[in-house]
């Protein structure tokens, strides 16, 4: 690449990174706030909370990257136009397709990133998120017990906790155990914690007493304890296999699903739709880049013309993305919908390249601009300000 190409390439990628990080950060925060109960009600640490919620970031980047690229190209072209650099390069003999070359290089980088995320990183993150979430919520003490409520875990086993405290500490524990027909145990403890070992899950009770009623005996036996382990392994599904959804499958698993896969048997259409979405993900950056440059890449001297082109590029990209979502939904039931989506994307890329190579300048109709000018003049007169010539 020449110096001009490197300048445009660096500017575009730098803008892309800034926009991508900003948009992803905002959306990630909104998603993370939905899981804030991991710290408040389930006693997890801040690091666990950040680790779990950050696993969804690759899936967000997969959707946001083409949009961030479109914004980055628009920003770079607007910067070049504001500084009259596009006009200078055009006067120096730069053809539109020659000017498009560094943007194409940046698009290739984004497309490779999107392809890697779609095929491996995004499903891997979602898979880890599901498995980690299952481990966090595996124990019944986390999943069922609510402070202040009596929870019947078994036919003859009832547990109540007064409150949850930071660090997973359970305060004010009461257990009524009548599972053994020969005896009944009532346990009261000041506090306790859940401990998971290779032998099972245990509720470690501290500073309490146990009252045992045995059949045939008149008086109960009262035992005070400082530490007592109550076995909860029966009510823990920690070893339960996590069922992976379609979005948690790697690309090669979508290409060749197992014949005995129950998810594939129930939803073959969703497998097809997800597979084609993964294939088309790297094509969207090229379509967005071609359309954006087709609208904004030509040299212009009027601000209104550039504003019109900016609005046109946004509408074109937005319409293409919405049509893609619609085709993805229809692909679940129709095998022809992916073909229509491929055709739509290739048409968008082809139309954009044709406009760029032909040097076509997309200008607003004169009648439309005249109507806009008249409307602006009326608004200025309405607010008592003289209209500028």
If asked whether residues 107 and 251 sit together in one domain, one would say yes
Residue 133 pLDDT level (bands cut at 50, 70, 90): low
Residue 380 CA to residue 125 CA, distance in Å, equals 54
Cα 37 from Cα 365, distance rounded (Å): 55
pLDDT at 42 over 60: no
Residue 387 in this model has a pLDDT that exceeds 50: no
What's the mean pLDDT in 225-230? Answer: 87
Same domain, 351 and 252: yes
- pLDDT score for 389: 46
User: Is 267 a domain residue?
Assistant: yes
Residue 288 within a domain: yes
Which of 77-86, 238-247, 368-377 has the highest mean predicted lDDT (pLDDT)?
A: 77-86
Please tell me the predicted confidence (pLDDT) of residue 238: 47
Q: Which residues constitute the domain of residue 172?
A: 140-235
Average pLDDT over residues 114-119: 92
Residues 283 and 377 in one domain: yes
What's the pLDDT at 287?
A: 93
Same domain, 164 and 293: no
- Contacts (Cβ under 8 Å, ≥6 apart) of 168: 42, 43, 44, 193, 194
Which range is most confident: 80-89, 118-127, 305-314?
Answer: 118-127
Task: Give per-residue burial for 347-377: e unless 16+ CB within 10 Å, then b.
Answer: ebbeebbebbeeeeebebeeeeeeeeeeeee
Q: Are residues 170 and 58 in the same domain?
A: no
* Token pair listed for 279: 């294939």
Average pLDDT over residues 27-31: 81
Assigned domain for 389 exists: no
Give the CA angle between residues 220, 210, 188 to the nearest 5°: 130
Instruction: Please check whether residue 170 is in contact with residue 156, taking contact to mean a CB–CB distance below 8 angstroms.
Output: no
129 and 67 within one domain: yes
Nearest to 98 by CA among 242, 2, 163, 228: 2
Per-residue pLDDT of 199-225, as tens digits, reads 767 788 888 998 888 887 878 888 888
**Residue 51 above 80 pLDDT?**
no
Task: State the average pLDDT for the chain.
Answer: 80
| pLDDT at 39 (0 to 100) | 53
Domain count, the chain: 2
Q: Which residues contact 351 (CB under 8 A, 6 or more apart)?
A: 290, 291, 294
Q: Of 184, 218, 235, which marks where a domain is finished?
A: 235
pLDDT of 45 reads 62
Residues 259 and 354 in one domain: yes
pLDDT higher than 50, residue 20: yes
**In a shared domain, residues 250 and 146:** no
Question: Both tokens of residue 251?
Answer: 């690309």
3-state secondary structure of 101: helix
Whether 17 contacts 71, CB under 8 Å: no
Contacts of 149 (CB under 8 A, 6+ apart): 160
Write down which residue in 216, 235, 254 finishes a domain: 235
Closest to 345 in 3D by CA, of 258, 254, 295, 277: 277
Sign of CA dihedral 233, 237, 238, 241: positive
Q: Which of 212, 235, 258 is the last residue of a domain?
A: 235
The pLDDT of residue 14: 93
Tokens of 202: 């245990």
Residue 230: closest CA among 250, 254, 200 = 200
């Amino acid at each position: 690449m020449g110096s001009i190409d490197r300048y445009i390439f660096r500017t575009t990628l730098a803008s892309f990174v800034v926009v991508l990080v900003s948009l992803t950060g905002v959306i990630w925060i909104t998603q993370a706030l939905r899981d804030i109960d991991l710290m408040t009600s389930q006693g997890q640490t801040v690091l666990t909370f950040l680790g779990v919620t950050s696993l969804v970031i690759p899936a967000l980047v997969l959707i946001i990257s083409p949009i961030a690229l479109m914004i980055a190209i628009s920003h770079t072209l607007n910067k070049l136009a504001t500084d009259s650099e596009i006009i200078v390069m055009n006067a120096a003999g730069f053809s539109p397709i020659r000017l498009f070359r560094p943007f194409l290089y940046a698009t290739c980088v984004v497309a490779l990133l999107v392809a890697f995320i779609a095929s491996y990183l995004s499903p891997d993150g979602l898979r880890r998120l599901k498995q980690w979430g299952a481990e966090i919520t595996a124990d019944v003490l986390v999943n069922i017990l609510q402070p202040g409520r009596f929870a019947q875990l078994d036919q003859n086993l009832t547990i109540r906790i007064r409150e949850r405290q930071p660090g997973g500490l359970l305060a004010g524990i009461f257990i009524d155990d009548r599972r053994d027909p020969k005896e009944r145990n009532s346990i009261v403890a000041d506090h306790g914690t859940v401990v998971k070992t290779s032998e099972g899950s245990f509720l470690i009770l501290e500073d309490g007493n146990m009252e045992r009623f045995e059949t045939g005996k008149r008086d109960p036996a009262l035992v005070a304890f400082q530490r007592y382990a109550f076995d909860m392994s029966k009510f823990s599904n920690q070893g339960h296999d996590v069922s992976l959804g379609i979005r948690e499958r790697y690309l090669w698993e979508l290409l060749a699903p197992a014949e005995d896969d129950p998810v594939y048997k129930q939803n073959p259409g969703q497998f097809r739709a997800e597979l084609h979405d993964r294939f088309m993900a790297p094509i969207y950056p090229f379509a967005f880049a071609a359309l954006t440059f087709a609208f904004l890449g030509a040299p212009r001297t009027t601000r209104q013309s550039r504003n019109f082109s900016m609005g046109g590029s946004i509408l074109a990209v937005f319409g293409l993305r919405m049509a893609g979502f619609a085709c993805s939904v229809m692909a679940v039931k129709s095998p022809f919908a992916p073909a229509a989506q491929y055709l739509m994307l290739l048409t968008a890329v082809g139309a954009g390249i044709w406009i760029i190579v032909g040097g076509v300048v997309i200008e607003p109709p004169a009648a439309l601009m005249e109507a806009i000018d008249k409307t602006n003049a009326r608004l200025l007169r309405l607010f008592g300000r003289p209209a500028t010539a």
